[in-house]
Amino acid sequence: MPVTPYTGTFGREELKHLLRRTMFGATNEDLLAFSGQSLSQVVDALLAVNIVQTPPLKNYWRLNGTTPDPSLVDPAIPFGTTWVNTPNIIGTVDANVYRMASFFSWRVGLMVTQPRTILEKMVLFWTNHMPIQTSVVYNGLLFYGYDQMLRQHCLGNFREMMYDVTVNPCMLDYLNGSANVASAPDENYARELMELFTLGEGSGYTEADVQAAARVLTGWDIREVLNSVPILPEAYFRPENHDSGNKTFSGFFNNTVIPGQTGANAGTTEVNALLNMIFLKQEVSLFMCRELYRFFVHGEISAQAESQFIVPLAELFRANAGAPDQMETVMRALLTSDHFFSAGIRTCMMMSPADLIIGTTRKMKFDWPSETTQVEGRYKMFQSLFYICVNCFQNLFDPPSVAGWPAYFQTPQFDELWLDSAAYAARNSAVQGIIGQGFNTGPEFYQAASRNLLRKPNLLAAVAEMGDASDPNVVVAGCADMLYAIPVSQGILDTIKTNRLLLGQSNDTYWSDAYEIYVADPNTTNQTAQMVPNLLTFMLLDMAKAGETQVF
């Protein structure tokens, strides 16, 4: 039974739903770019993720007396150039602390300035599905390498991805793979491979299966020094640390025996045998399709959704098991399905902090500092966004556990976990700060062009995209359309207009005249016209407090 495709109307509301779930926010520019295109055309564009991105750059320094001096940390890397091709050299100051901060800023920057594709959302999905906590691994090169691997495979073949995850240096460090030796097998990665990454808890594998898998995985290690010379982190196999005995699995795996191997290729051979065995189970496809569903569609999976959507999607997953674009095929079916556009799925999810904070920032049309001449200021502002998400209870690079964020697995609340009384206060304060204050830098920067920068929302440009912005009805309706996933009544819109844009006046010309004067001359001495930017700001600050801003 195939996934039922969507054949209904594909208009502005359907486009907004699609973009909100596949990107961080749906801006007016995004909607305009896809306007008039069919669902198939938009999804094709969203799934085009082969994008060349600038790697993270050195934006850090240490004080030399009272003077910022980039040469005092990572001296081999010129300021403003990338550190990703330079091995870690531990000197008087560990450069990793600075590289990790650079990585955080860079990753958030990619989310904020994302192209119109699903790339950043897919990378976040995989980051949640197979997370690595910075509280355990704090190594910029390891994290960057893991991130690049996820990007490479994000819409590729899941089986190929799992091999690369299994022998990735960052994962080997995180789940003790580099400490897994024949004399003392470590079950950490073997357990999560089955429970969290491929099969799911309670799917049928046994404790003995975990122990046998741990033996299969013995012998892998990571190194950052070779022949006393620092190198980029790499995984390698040490045959002397590998358990070369046969590994027997339970009836769940049809009593499979993975023959023990010796020699330099033993590790690769046995890892592939283990993954081949696991991927013969239908549970992998069902588990993965449920994971995609909870991230992109809805947390709770009803019995009907399971039988009519998950099961046929899993069949498609299995039918494309050998395809290099397996995940792209599955995601295309998901995003073009009748179920995805059904009334009960739209606006049914609570936004994650990343969706809310980064989505709000994108909608507000910030003019970020230059990536070349103001890299320090740019990274500082993206770092601020990272910490805003942390304060809203989503540390993008340090989820609570190896299971990821509870909102994507903890029943029965799921995404409702993003929003409690403490979280709402933090989220509301964050959005108010983004709209009302923006972002700034201080005077203590190495790069003169990055000092004392201020970036505030370009609200006039945002409302200009909504139509005739001299009409207050257009402005209020456009802002509601931009901020709210759930429509509000005309009465509420009229109240917002009267109280905020008209300051209690009854005639729309109060706004229209002031707006036209201000747009013609932002330095006008007309006192009413001078209020236009503030009127917009205060209106959006009020509107952003509504519960309708929290769902998508």
Does residue 463 have a pLDDT over 90?
yes
- Are the C-beta atoms of 350 and 416 separated by less than 8 Å? yes
Q: What pLDDT sits at residue 140? A: 95
Is the per-residue pLDDT at 322 higher than 90?
Answer: yes
- Helices assigned H by DSSP within 280-310: 282-296, 303-305
Mean of per-residue pLDDT scores for the chain = 97
Q: Which residues of 459-477 are buried (b: 16+ CB within 10 A; e: fewer)?
A: bbebbbebeebbbbbebbb
Q: What's residue 93's pLDDT?
A: 66
Spatial neighbors of 89 by CB under 8 A, at least 6 apart, are: 74, 76, 95, 230
CB contact at 8 A, 518 and 464: no
- Helix 95-112 to helix 375-391 angle (10° resolution) is 80
Q: What angle do CA 39, 40, 44 make, to 5 degrees?
A: 120
Per-residue pLDDT tens for 21-37? 999 999 999 999 999 99
The phi and psi torsions of 116 (rounded to 5 degrees) equal -85, 65
pTM of the model: 0.96
- The pLDDT assigned to 92 comes to 53
Residues paired with residue 5 on neighbouring β-strands, in sequence order: 337
pLDDT number for residue 420: 87
Find the range with the poorest average confidence among 82-91, 264-273, 294-303, 398-407: 82-91
**pLDDT, tens only, 162-193:** 999 999 999 999 999 999 999 999 999 999 99
SS3 for 234?
A: strand
Q: What is the pLDDT of residue 442?
A: 95
Residue 308 in tokens: 């009519």
In this prediction, residues 127-134 reach a mean pLDDT of: 98
pLDDT tens-digit readout, 351-389 = 999 999 999 999 999 999 999 999 999 999 999 999 999
Q: What is the DSSP letter of 182?
A: T
8 Å CB contact between 165 and 171: yes
- Nearest Cα to 408, choosing from 130, 161, 64, 32? 130
What pLDDT is stored for residue 347 in this prediction? Answer: 96
Q: For the chain, what is the total number of helices (H) and then of strands (E)?
A: 24, 8
The residue-averaged pLDDT of 333-339 equals: 98
Nearest partner of 199 among 295, 320, 280, judged by Cα? 280
Average pLDDT over residues 142-150: 98
Closest by CA to 364, choosing from 18, 64, 24, is 24
Composition of the chain by helix, strand, coil, percent to 5: 55, 5, 40
Residue 527 pLDDT > 80, yes or no?
yes
User: Has residue 90 got a pLDDT over 80?
Assistant: no
User: Mean of the pLDDT values across residues 493-507?
Assistant: 96
Average pLDDT value for residue range 228-249: 97
Query: Is 43 a residue whose pLDDT tops 80?
Result: yes
pLDDT digits (tens, 9 = 90+) for 400-410: 999 999 999 99
For residue 535, give the 3-state DSSP assignment: helix
